[in-house]
Amino acid sequence: MKSGSAKVVFTCFPMRNRGYFEWFYTGLQILEQQNRLSISHEGGSMDRFFRRHPRVFGKLLEKYPDSFGMLAPVDYFALAGRYERGGKVVTFAYDVTDAPFNYALAWLERSDLYFKMQCPSEWHEAGFPLSTTVRVPYHPEVLRSKDRIRPMMSTGGITSTLNLARNLQVLEADRQRIAAQKKLRMFASFGSDRGPGPWKDGELPPAPHNYHNERSLIGELGNRIGHPNEKRGELVRRLRGWNKEEVDARIWNSRDPSIQGDALAWSDYLVRVSESVFNVNISGFRRSAPFRIIDTLRMGSMVATDNMAVRWYRPFDPDLEVFEYGELGYESDAQVDWKAAGNKLYELYELADSRRDCGRDVLACYDAKWHPSKLAAYFVEECEKVLEGAG
């Protein structure tokens, strides 16, 4: 940190999506506790009240659900503010939408730095690679402004209360749940194996920003793509087909009873993740990186995933954190090479026996790179680079 008192001022903090911002905000609170910066809030009185009392916001919406659109417009998926030090200012926005090709264009236009949770691995003028044969175009302003866009990481809520003490307590309690031994080589647990259908007549997208929503993609691209949710079923089917005791693969909600498995309570799920050498992932909506990745790493386990199209602000260790097993995502049925993916996954299954003691090293990486305080420190680093350039 350079000399002079640093301050982070939030001017827009969409409470509807507070859980998505909580990892970052918790990190900033830790830095504030360490006297490395201060946090303040600006905006309307009601907005600032809800930021201080997010649980009141949640209870209000439970009681008056019709007020949701007025109090928390679905378009508000980016927080915004400014970073100040020594009389200099950096304006920023933090976009948490699941789509690597959707951006809050007004914030992008007005911000010195635009932090993107689902940031493309690389920029290509033809658009974002939804599959190996289909690209979704970026808005021209995104390509023009790409040098101001910074990757973040995929994070969900901790308690959705923005309370530092409560959040640290939960993170520590989860860490205490980490199993002493890894009983499983591979774990794969998904909610459903069904993707969305196309829009029905008269249906409207939930928000103007929701360009190429899942239903839009399915309706427009048809059999040129296949939804990743639908690949979950085939993946679980193949993992179960190995008939290995050290593989736990399940779909919580499936029409196929042969791959159906019981849903796990959240705490039980985390314990099962920690008991596994690999937690298997498939890309989320629009090839986003699901929260499953950070929840696996923070429980001391490794991720096996289809090829990623988004990046985090630090590279993954390819021999310790994230292992890719092939192109699945939105590939059409004709394009998916299930044999190659299955062979790669089986290689990881065999590798797992020699990695049962990987937990300590995975946690060391997590502490060094992905802990909330490290995300906040990265944010400060990027803001400081702009200040130095402006100086």
Q: What are the tokens at 66?
A: 């019709």
Per-residue pLDDT tens listing for the chain (391 residues): 455 689 999 999 988 889 999 999 999 999 999 999 999 999 777 777 777 777 777 777 777 776 666 666 666 789 999 999 999 999 999 999 999 999 999 999 999 999 999 999 999 999 999 999 999 999 999 999 999 999 999 999 999 999 999 999 999 999 999 999 999 999 999 999 998 888 888 887 777 666 678 888 998 999 999 999 999 999 999 999 999 999 999 999 999 999 999 999 999 999 999 999 999 999 999 999 999 999 999 999 999 999 999 999 999 999 999 999 999 999 999 999 999 999 999 999 999 999 999 999 999 999 999 999 999 999 999 999 999 986 4
Q: What is the pTM of this model?
A: 0.93
| pLDDT of amino acid 336 | 97
Residue 327 CA, distance from chain mean position: 19
At residue 53, the pLDDT reads 76
- Cβ–Cβ under 8 Å, residues 97 and 74: no
Angle at 19 between CA 74 and CA 105, to 5 degrees: 45
Q: According to the model, what pLDDT value does residue 23 have?
A: 98
Burial classification of residue 360, based on how many CB atoms lie within 10 Å of its CB (0-12 exposed, 13-18 middle, 19 or more buried) = exposed
Which pair of tokens denotes residue 306?
């289809």
Q: What is the DSSP string of 95-158?
A: E--S-TT---HHHHHH-SEEEESSEESS--TT-EESSSS-EEPPPHHHHHTGGGEEE------S
> What is the predicted pLDDT for the residue at 67?
64
Provide the token pair at 1: 């940190």
For the stretch 231-265, pLDDT in tens is 999 999 999 999 999 999 999 999 999 999 999 99
Q: What whole-number distance in Å separates Cα of residue 295 and Cα of residue 139?
A: 32
Q: How many CA atoms lie within 13 A of 347 on its CB side?
A: 11
Map residue 311 onto helix, strand or coil: strand
